[in-house]
Structure 1
Amino acid sequence: MIDEPVLRPLTPSDAAEYHALVQRNAAHLTRLGDYRDEVAATLDEVAARLAGPGPLRYGIVLRERLIGRIDLIPVDPPRYGLGYWLGEYATGQGYATKAVASALQHVRTLAATDVYAGVTHGNDRTVALLRRLGFTMVASFDSYDRFHLALTAEDGS
């Protein structure tokens, strides 16, 4: 049986494990500039973020070990933004595709109609993942492209 990643809500009790994962992956996460603020955050700041209001935050867990994070951001419900990352050692194994597909199933339960994702230029793996899951590019900006997925009755919502 192939190990499947699962999503679970991130809470302040996950702060130490999450912070350590971010620190171990600092070079990976900042290669394209996306996560500089996350890498710079202290443990106390991480705990406060996980306690506060904001996006729906989920840990990507494999064999009871945190390997990444997915956020569903209620931009203008029923429209949501999507953000995710995996630790470098967990990339290229299909875990991100499975985790994002799971997040999309969850957002359908929230009566979402649209999901958007911004992808930093050069992040070809994420572009490929989003396209595999049915997203299309809808806008291009100086540093990133915006992708969109319309959720319809035909796809299970």
Structure 2
Amino acid sequence: MTVELATSLPGVTIRRLVPADAGVLLALVQKNRAHLTRHGDFAELVDRDLDATTQHLETSPEHAFGVFTEGSLVGAVSLIPVEPPRYGCGFWLAERASGLGIASAAIRTLLDYARRELSASDVFAGVTHGNVESVAVLERTGFRRIDHFETYTRFHRRLAE
């Protein structure tokens, strides 16, 4: 069953990724390799080949959604079950899609999905030091800084009352 959700931005949706999306996802990741790894993030993601990308989409417990603008894949947002109803959150966008409000809209839609479909109570995210754009996205979507570690800052968003 395909799960596709509209965001608050016209033409921007998130859709659950399936193994058939692996080739398009891999191509986007490779095209944005320098952008995605500039803070030391996403090394595992950019090192995957087609088989590993397909296998990840087939077997991971992660709720991985592609971010689409007018039907074109421009990034991903995901929920990682940590100790449900507590989840981790990850996100990235292609460089050309950054700075347009797309990540914030996608995260808000993902959080609504987490609350409604997964009965999530809490969502956490980590941001590598220096990644001010991702910090801004999290702060715009209601996350608060809760821990500071050597290489990253942890954020939290409470979803349940």
Q: Is the CA contact 1:55–1:74 (under 8 Å) kept in the aligned structure 2?
A: yes
Q: Partner residue of 1:96?
A: 103
- Deviation string 1:22-69 (CA, Å, 9 cap, x unpaired) is 000000001011111111111111111111132101000111110001
Equivalents in 2 of 1:35, 1:100: separation in Å?
18
Equivalences for 1:79-94 in 2 at 5 Å? 79-94=86-101
> RMSD across aligned C-alpha pairs, in angstroms?
1.0
Q: Is the CA contact 2:74–2:94 (under 8 Å) kept in the aligned structure 1?
A: yes
2:11 is aligned with 1:13: no
2:71 is aligned with 1:64: yes
2:141 is aligned with 1:126: no
Q: Is the CA contact 1:60–1:70 (under 8 Å) kept in the aligned structure 2?
A: yes
Equivalents in 2 of 1:14, 1:48: separation in Å?
11
2:118 is aligned with 1:148: no
Structure 2: any 5+ residue segments left out of the alignment?
A: 1-8
C-alpha displacement at 1:131, in angstroms? Answer: 1.1
Q: Is the CA contact 2:120–2:160 (under 8 Å) kept in the aligned structure 1?
A: no
Using the size of structure 1 for normalisation, the TM-score is 0.93
Using the size of structure 2 for normalisation, the TM-score is 0.91
Residue 49 of structure 1: which of 42, 56, 63 is its match?
56
Q: Partner residue of 2:45?
A: 38
Q: Partner residue of 2:6?
A: none
Equivalents in 2 of 1:31, 1:17: separation in Å?
22
Identity %: 44
Q: How many residues align?
A: 152
